């Protein structure tokens, strides 16, 4: 039977892995980067285990879609450990599968009446995405369409998160929206560092990982809390 104490242990392990990987990602040492094989590949499996063992999540309407999304994130994490354009496309594609799953869960549990949020997200995407798309295309023509499609899906995740049914616990909705927004911020920083900055400081990668791991944690926590009214 799922145990809250077991889930908590997995969450603490995830936080420890995230902190270690965030630090390693921002160093200029090649040895430290190689050490990420001990941290990054285990992030999402640990977070998935924390969700599976969380008794609050057993009746969550976001449980399955979030697990599938986390699996997509795991595939993306593994692919992005490579540094080629093919690795980037593979990683973005895997993350896109994850975002499609997040969106499907949010849309199945959306408010009966439209809520504020999507127009603001669309405006933010229209302002921030074109520069990264152009920069990616200059780097490699194949990356332009990849970034265009992926950034649109990411914006869709944030927009649909703002439409969750008010009948779901407020804490679940807040965690979900915050997680989706942090995911968008993380990838915006990543795209800026990779395609728009010629010589970005190594610690920018720490910002990418800190916001990404926090985003995934909040989305997982939102899914868990959605299974308990009043949580």
Instruction: Please write the tens of the pLDDT for every residue from 14-26.
Output: 999 999 999 999 9
Residue boundaries of the structural domains of the chain: 4-225
To the nearest 10°, the Cα dihedral for 93, 72, 80, 211? 110
Three-class secondary structure of residue 110 per DSSP: strand
Instruction: Please write the tens of the pLDDT for every residue from 86-109.
Output: 998 899 999 999 999 999 999 999
Please identify which residue in the block is written with the tokens 């302002």: 127
Judged by average pLDDT, the poorest of 1-15, 71-85, 119-133 is 1-15
Instruction: Look at residue 80 and tell me whether its pLDDT is greater than 60.
Output: yes
Query: Model confidence at 230, in pLDDT bands (50, 70, 90)?
Result: very low
End-to-end CA distance of the chain: 20
116 CB neighbour count, 10 Å cutoff: 8
This prediction's pTM:
0.94
Instruction: Please write the tens of the pLDDT for every residue from 124-174.
Output: 999 989 999 999 999 888 889 999 999 999 999 999 999 999 999 999 999
Residues in the chain: 231
Query: Model confidence at 1, in pLDDT bands (50, 70, 90)?
Result: low
Instruction: Please write the tens of the pLDDT for every residue from 30-66.
Output: 999 999 999 999 999 999 999 999 999 999 999 999 9
At residue 47, the pLDDT reads 98
Query: Model confidence at 197, in pLDDT bands (50, 70, 90)?
Result: confident
């Amino acid at each position: 039977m799922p145990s809250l104490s077991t889930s908590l242990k997995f969450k603490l392990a995830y936080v420890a892995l995230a902190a270690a990987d965030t630090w390693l990602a921002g160093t200029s040492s090649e040895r430290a980067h190689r050490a990420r094989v001990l941290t990054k590949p285990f992030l999402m499996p640990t977070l998935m285990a924390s969700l599976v063992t969380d008794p609050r999540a057993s009746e969550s309407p976001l449980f399955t879609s979030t697990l599938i999304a986390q699996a997509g994130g795991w595939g993306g994490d593994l692919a992005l450990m490579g540094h080629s354009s093919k690795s980037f496309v593979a990683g973005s594609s895997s993350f896109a599968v994850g975002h499609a799953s997040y969106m499907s869960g949010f849309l199945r549990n959306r408010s009966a009446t439209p809520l504020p949020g999507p127009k603001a997200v669309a405006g933010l995407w229209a302002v921030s995405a074109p520069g990264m798309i152009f920069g990616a295309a200059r780097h490699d023509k194949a990356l332009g369409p990849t970034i265009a499609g992926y950034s649109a899906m990411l914006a869709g995740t944030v927009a649909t998160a703002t439409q969750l049914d008010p009948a779901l616990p407020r804490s679940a909705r807040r965690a979900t929206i915050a997680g989706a927004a942090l995911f968008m911020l993380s990838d915006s920083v990543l795209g800026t560092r990779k395609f728009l900055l010629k010589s970005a400081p190594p610690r920018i990668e720490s910002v990418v990982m800190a916001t990404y791991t926090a985003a995934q944690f909040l989305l997982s926590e939102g899914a868990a809390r959605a299974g308990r009214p009043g949580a």
